[in-house]
Amino acid sequence: MATTLPIPDRAAVLKALDAILDPVSGQGLVAAGLVHGLALRPGRAGFMLEVPPEDAARYQPVRDAAEAALGAVDGVTQAQVVLTAASPGAPPRAPAPAAAPRTAATAPMKPAHVRQVIAVASGKGGVGKSTVAVNLAAAFAAMGYRTGVLDADVYGPSLPRMLGLGGEPKVGPDKKLIPLEAFGLKAVSIGLLVKEGAPMIWRGPMASSAITQLLNDVAWGTEDEPLDLLVIDMPPGTGDVQLTLAQRVTLDGAVIVSTPQEVALIDVRRGAAMFAKTATPILGVVENMAYFPDPTTGAPIEIFGRGGARGVAEEIGAPFLGEIPIDIALRQSGDGGTPILAAAPDGPSARVFIEIAAKVAARLKDGGLSKRPPRIVILD
Ligand code: ADP
């Protein structure tokens, strides 16, 4: 069902935010210039609370209060406030900017017969975003949800490799592309439309029209059998291409993947800030390659440090979803075309993916994932 929620009233939102005081200046948050990138969408509101890095901890309760205040505004069913650190050389605080104007061409859309759409994103490449996207989707399928994966990583589509897909999707009688199927998942890759040889510089602009096409022209589900969940594997990074994609799709939420290194964790904050610009709820943060289990004792060896993603999740007010170990079986299965959920469903990584999927499903429940009893599916 398409949403018919109204767009929250901007004046009411600003008034609610200005009733919360900045502990430093004593002014309301809007007057103090702390509200950045205010985004208003049907039923949702979000913005970035930009504060000096040294004050981040102090502003945590302010963030919580602002999110509660947003959530209390008429018409807001989902509120998202991300605490971000202003860089030291940043220009003086500016007043709250206007919500980006929307035209029909850029209005976010939801594909037909798809109940929920989530994005899996990362601030940089190589952190295991696609591995998480595919295995999370496989975990949803194993839980019985009708699940699709859309590989939107225009810079390095990896879905065909990770699911062992060959061939091109066929076109159905209604002229819609029929997704490929593997391991109980419906799958389409942007690699079909943006050819491997295409120069990098073309890929960004091509991505946004390709994604619109993939959302419009793929038969993800039918009236009788809608897809419960579409997982979008986003391109890595937080630049214009990623933001445009996030703006094109009505996302029900985003999962951010990071490794424990500090540099990756800084990118988590950027990722969260990007989703705040589209008022997309952050469903949570996943720490990938969190530790290496000692081959003899199983004790965790913390190669890149550990637990940082949990701290950043807390800081940005997002749930921490789980830690995936460095797992040779996970790499081998992914690179060999089989999700770990199918290759080793009882192994440690598969168990973590199931736990993460359950947490995500619970967070989506207001939107409907848990309203239908899941079918029992055995992956093969
Ligand atoms: P991204 O999508 O972020 O670029 P990928 O999911 O393609 O990253 O992963 C990059 C490489 O790292 C792949 O070869 C993948 O199999 C491997 N990999 C990802 N996560 C893990 C993990 N937890 N343990 C071992 N290898 C992993």
pLDDT of residue 219: 94
For a mutational test of ligand 1's pocket, the pick from 127, 231, 331, 335, i.e. the residue with the most ligand atoms closer than 8 A to its C-beta, is 331
How much distance in Å is there from the Cα of 62 to the middle of ligand 1? Answer: 36
Least confident of 24-33, 53-62, 189-198, 296-305: 189-198
pLDDT of residue 56: 75
Place of tokens 């993460």: 356
Q: At 100, is the pLDDT very low, low, confident or very high (cuts 50, 70, 90)?
A: very low
Place of tokens 């440690």: 348
Spatial separation of the C-alpha atoms in residues 265 and 363, rounded to whole Å: 23
pLDDT of residue 24: 85
| Residue 109 confidence (pLDDT) above 60 | yes
Least confident of 105-109, 229-233, 254-258, 279-283: 105-109
Both tokens of 106, joined, read 């850029």
pLDDT of residue 319: 93
Domain at 114-370, CATH from 3.30.70.890, 3.40.50.300, 3.30.1360.200, 3.30.450.80: 3.40.50.300
Task: Provide the residue ranges of all domains of the chain, joining segments of one domain with +.
Answer: 10-85, 114-370
Atom of ligand 1 nearest to the CA of 257: 3
How much distance in Å is there from the Cα of 271 to the middle of ligand 1? Answer: 19
pLDDT of residue 380: 56
pLDDT of residue 95: 41
Q: Which of 218, 283, 215, 274 is nearest to 250 (CA)?
A: 215
pLDDT of residue 138: 96
Atom of ligand 1 nearest to the CA of 327: 24
Q: At 305, is the pLDDT very low, low, confident or very high (cuts 50, 70, 90)?
A: confident
Print burial letters for 257-273: b (CB count within 10 Å at least 16), e (below 16): bbbbbeebbebbbbbbb
Q: At 163, is the pLDDT very low, low, confident or very high (cuts 50, 70, 90)?
A: very high
Mean pLDDT value across residues 128-157: 92
pLDDT of residue 99: 45
pLDDT of residue 89: 44
Atom of ligand 1 nearest to the CA of 349: 23
How much distance in Å is there from the Cα of 143 to the middle of ligand 1? Answer: 23
How much distance in Å is there from the Cα of 330 to the middle of ligand 1? Answer: 8
How much distance in Å is there from the Cα of 128 to the middle of ligand 1? Answer: 4
CATH 3.30.300.130 fits 10-85, yes or no: yes
Atom of ligand 1 nearest to the CA of 288: 23
Per the prediction, the chain carries an average pLDDT of 84
Spatial separation of the C-alpha atoms in residues 157 and 129, rounded to whole Å: 11
Q: What is the pLDDT of residues 240-259, one digit of tens each?
A: 878 888 888 889 999 999 99
Q: Higher confidence at residue 12 or residue 52?
A: 12
How much distance in Å is there from the Cα of 45 to the middle of ligand 1? Answer: 33
Ligand 1: residues with CB < 6 A are 122, 125-131, 158, 236, 288-289, 324, 326-327, 330-331, 334-335
How much distance in Å is there from the Cα of 194 to the middle of ligand 1? Answer: 22
Atom of ligand 1 nearest to the CA of 233: 2
Q: At 369, is the pLDDT very low, low, confident or very high (cuts 50, 70, 90)?
A: low
For a mutational test of ligand 1's pocket, the pick from 130, 131, 292, i.e. the residue with the most ligand atoms closer than 8 A to its C-beta, is 131
Mean pLDDT value across residues 298-326: 86
pLDDT of residue 88: 47
Cα dihedral sign, 323-184-208-82: negative
Atom of ligand 1 nearest to the CA of 326: 24
Least confident of 116-130, 303-317, 341-355: 303-317
**Which residues make Cβ contacts (< 8 Å) with residue 342, sequence separation at least 6?**
138, 183, 333, 379, 380
Q: Which of 24, 67, 71 is nearest to 48 (CA)?
A: 67
How much distance in Å is there from the Cα of 144 to the middle of ligand 1? Answer: 25
